[in-house]
């Protein structure tokens, strides 16, 4: 009953909005000095009302489901068993957890396994079930963003600068009626960026992920003169003045560039995915200095895992929803995770503890360990509020030292902090056996970094990473002392190296969404791609 009602509201809003003139044309007139037509104001008012009604309804659903988390998860499990497992599961009506766990043992799903097997262990969810969780995340995220930054959804207040969207379920009516600046039919980053640059009144900047936005700003610096010429060429006086403003802003360097380009900018919206922390840190320290970052959802290849209801929080907090897909929590133990098989339901999570996420979706007969580790930092009714910590398949392990993704990132951050003038933009690691670079020496790490403010690395600076790794990981220090592991070798790559890596990963037929940035590369051809772009 409730889903058809929401769909009816959305269809009604679309019908109303399609009858009105496209906002992009009206907004273009507004930017050129014309008074905002009353039709555009009406269009925006209708969209705001529909958004408010739809979000309020989704919020009531969320309250009901999280107040009775155990029952909600039972219903989600029942839907999974009825919807897709069919005759493969002998007890389709039985949601007893012991029966379910005994019949479906845990399986692993990792990027490395997916690339090796050329297929995903966890099939992508159907559009119907992906749509329900994604629609809720998008509506509640838009409502939360509007509450935290009331003028963001005003006409002409938002622009997306990448072909991909940060919203799990992009809706056509917010784009056209709530004032997203976007040229009709544009799907490439250059056209999107040009339209955003023409609009000085932006309050929110959207990009699919933080790494994609980093590429946009690096490209803006490299092609800034060409972009300003494109804006000024054959344009009326207001845009000619705008081109001059852009040129002046670019000449002052990267720090605070976004606010010089768009003085009213308040927030950057990107979708959280693995390996984005460094891009967020680099953007926040340089181009997007002084701006808030907001990720509306926590998503994985199996669908939307969590909702972000707190745009004002400096780091992403996500409510794990008890609806579809069905989520279990696998406690993280000090001993090897291979021996851990007992899972918990959401209502059983303990604050301060870390868990690996386990996902069951109606389209596949498997309980997949996603490899994503989260820490419980609070609760919302009976459901946990979590923060993403690391990915288990991104650990380095040449002699059993098992250096986790977050541990290595901490050591690298400490080392870069000792390199005068350097700012880390991106990095990836390769175990020496992948590149056959350990012949005649102990196995070690090959580390590829992209930096700002440093063009050459001295041997003294390179050695600092190994010292920081020894301080951070006692096990690594012990292996280095015994000579079982050789010193980490650091290579500086040129700009564009990691963009090429992401493009190669995106071209892979099993690439996941959202596109996480790999911190440990397991395949020789990808490692060689970075190796060919080493500049120091």
Q: Residue holding tokens 């780091």?
A: 315
Do 164 and 187 meet the contact criterion of CB atoms below 8 Å apart? no
Phi, psi (deg, nearest 5) at residue 273 = -155, 165
pLDDT at 513: 61
pLDDT at 238: 81
CA nearest to 347, candidates 374, 367, 373, 321: 321
pLDDT at 21: 42
Residues 457-487 as b/e (b if ≥16 CB within 10 A, e otherwise) read beeebbebbbbbbbebbeebbebbeeeebbb
3-state SS assignment for residue 319: strand
Longest dimension (CA), the chain: 76
Does an H or E element contain 490, and which? strand 489-492
Instruction: Give the neighbor-by-neighbor strand order of the sheet with 445-452.
Output: 489-492, 445-452, 423-431, 520-521
| 373: number of Cβ within 10 Å | 21
Check residue 88 and report its DSSP letter. G
Q: Residue holding tokens 């340089």?
A: 286
Radius of gyration of the chain (CA): 24
pLDDT at 94: 65
3-state SS assignment for residue 300: strand
Which residues are CB-neighbours of 11 under 8 A, at least 6 positions away? none
And the tokens for 119? 């297929």
Half-sphere exposure of 500 (CA within 13 A, CB side): 15
Annotation: CATH topology of 40-111+131-333+343-391: Rossmann fold (3.40.50)
β partners of residue 355: 331, 374
pLDDT per residue of the chain (536 residues) written in tens, 0 to 9: 445 545 555 544 544 444 344 444 334 444 444 445 666 677 777 778 888 888 999 999 999 999 999 999 988 888 877 765 444 566 666 667 877 888 788 887 644 444 433 333 344 443 433 567 888 999 999 999 999 998 888 888 899 999 988 998 877 655 555 667 777 666 788 899 999 999 999 999 999 999 999 999 999 999 999 999 999 887 787 888 999 999 999 999 999 999 999 999 999 999 887 889 999 999 999 999 999 999 999 887 667 889 999 998 878 899 999 988 889 999 998 655 566 668 999 999 999 999 999 988 766 567 888 899 999 999 999 999 999 999 998 999 999 999 999 999 999 999 999 999 999 999 999 999 999 877 778 999 999 999 999 989 999 999 999 999 999 999 999 999 999 999 999 999 998 899 999 888 878 755 566 667 889 999 999 999 999 999 98
β partners of residue 368: 107, 359
CA atoms 149, 154, 158, 163: torsion sign: positive
pLDDT at 121: 38
3-state SS assignment for residue 356: strand
pLDDT at 517: 84
pLDDT at 248: 94
Number of H helices, E strands in the chain: 20, 17
Provide the pairing of β-strand 318-320 with 303-307.
antiparallel
Do 322 and 65 meet the contact criterion of CB atoms below 8 Å apart? yes
CA distance 189 to 177: 22
pLDDT at 424: 95
Residues 382-418 as b/e (b if ≥16 CB within 10 A, e otherwise) read bbbbbbbbbbbbbbbebbebebbbbbbbbbbebbbee
36 Cα distance to chain centroid: 35
3-state SS assignment for residue 291: coil
CA atoms 409, 413, 415, 420: torsion sign: positive
CA nearest to 23, candidates 203, 151, 179: 179
* The residue count for the chain: 536
CA distance 199 to 27: 10
Residue boundaries of the structural domains of the chain: 40-111+131-333+343-391, 405-532
pLDDT at 178: 64
Does an H or E element contain 204, and which? strand 204-206
DSSP assignment of 363-417: TSS-EEEEEEEEEEEEEETTEEEEEEEEEGGG-B-SSS--B-HHHHHHHHHHHHT
- The answer to whether the bond into 514 is cis (omega within 30° of 0) is yes
CA nearest to 283, candidates 212, 206, 223, 214: 214
At residue 270's C-alpha, the angle toward residues 269 and 276, to 5°, is 140
Q: Residue holding tokens 């002409």?
A: 156
And the tokens for 464? 């600092």
Phi, psi (deg, nearest 5) at residue 445 = -105, 135
Do 407 and 470 meet the contact criterion of CB atoms below 8 Å apart? no
Which residues are CB-neighbours of 456 under 8 A, at least 6 positions away? 492, 536
């Amino acid at each position: 009953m409730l889903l058809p009602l929401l769909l009816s509201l959305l269809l009604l809003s679309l019908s109303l909005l399609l009858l009105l003139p496209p906002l992009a044309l009206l907004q273009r007139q507004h930017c050129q000095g014309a008074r905002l037509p009353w039709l555009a104001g009406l269009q925006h008012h209708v969209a705001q009302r529909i958004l408010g009604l739809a979000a309020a309804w989704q919020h009531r659903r969320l309250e009901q489901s999280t107040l009775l988390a155990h029952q909600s998860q039972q219903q989600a499990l029942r839907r999974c068993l009825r919807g897709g497992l069919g005759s493969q599961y002998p007890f389709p009506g039985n949601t007893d957890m012991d029966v379910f766990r005994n019949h479906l043992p845990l399986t692993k799903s990792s990027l490395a396994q997916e690339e090796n097997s050329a297929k995903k262990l966890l099939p992508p969810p159907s559009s119907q079930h992906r749509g329900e969780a994604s629609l809720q995340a998008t509506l509640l995220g838009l409502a939360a963003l509007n509450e935290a930054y009331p003028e963001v959804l005003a006409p002409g207040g938002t622009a997306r600068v990448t072909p991909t969207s940060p919203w799990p379920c992009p809706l056509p009516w917010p784009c056209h009626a709530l004032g997203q600046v976007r040229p009709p039919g544009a799907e490439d980053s250059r056209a999107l960026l040009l339209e955003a640059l023409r609009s000085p009144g932006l309050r929110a900047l959207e990009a699919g992920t933080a790494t994609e936005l980093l590429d946009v700003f690096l490209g803006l610096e490299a092609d800034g003169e060409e972009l300003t010429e494109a804006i000024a060429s054959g344009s009326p006086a207001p845009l000619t003045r705008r081109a001059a403003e852009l040129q002046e802003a670019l000449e002052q360097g990267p720090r605070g560039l976004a606010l010089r380009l768009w003085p009213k900018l308040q927030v950057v919206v990107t979708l959280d995915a693995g390996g984005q922390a460094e891009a967020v840190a680099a953007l926040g320290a340089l181009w997007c200095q002084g701006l808030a970052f907001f990720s509306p959802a926590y998503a994985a290849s199996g669908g939307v895992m969590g909702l972000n209801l707190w745009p004002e929080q400096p780091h992403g907090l996500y409510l794990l929803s008890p609806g579809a897909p069905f989520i279990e929590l696998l406690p993280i133990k000090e001993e090897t995770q291979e021996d851990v098989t007992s899972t918990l339901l959401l209502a059983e999570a303990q604050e301060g503890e870390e868990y690996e996420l386990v996902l069951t979706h109606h389209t596949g007969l498997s309980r997949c360990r996603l490899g994503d580790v989260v820490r419980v930092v609070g609760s919302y009714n009976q459901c946990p509020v979590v923060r993403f910590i690391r990915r288990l398949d991104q650990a380095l392990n040449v002699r059993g030292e098992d250096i986790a993704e977050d541990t290595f990132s901490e050591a690298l951050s400490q080392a870069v902090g000792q390199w005068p003038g350097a700012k880390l933009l991106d990095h990836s690691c390769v175990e020496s056996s992948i590149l056959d670079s350990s012949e005649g020496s102990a196995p070690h790490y090959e580390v590829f970094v992209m930096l700002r403010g440093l063009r050459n690395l001295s041997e003294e600076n390179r050695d600092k990473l190994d010292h920081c790794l020894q301080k951070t990981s006692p096990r690594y220090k012990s292996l280095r002392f015994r000579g079982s592991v050789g010193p980490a070798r650091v290579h500086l790559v040129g700009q564009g190296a990691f963009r090429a890596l992401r493009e190669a990963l995106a071209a892979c037929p099993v690439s996941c969404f959202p596109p996480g940035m790999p911190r440990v590369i397991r395949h020789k051809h990808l490692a060689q791609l970075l190796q060919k772009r080493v500049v120091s």
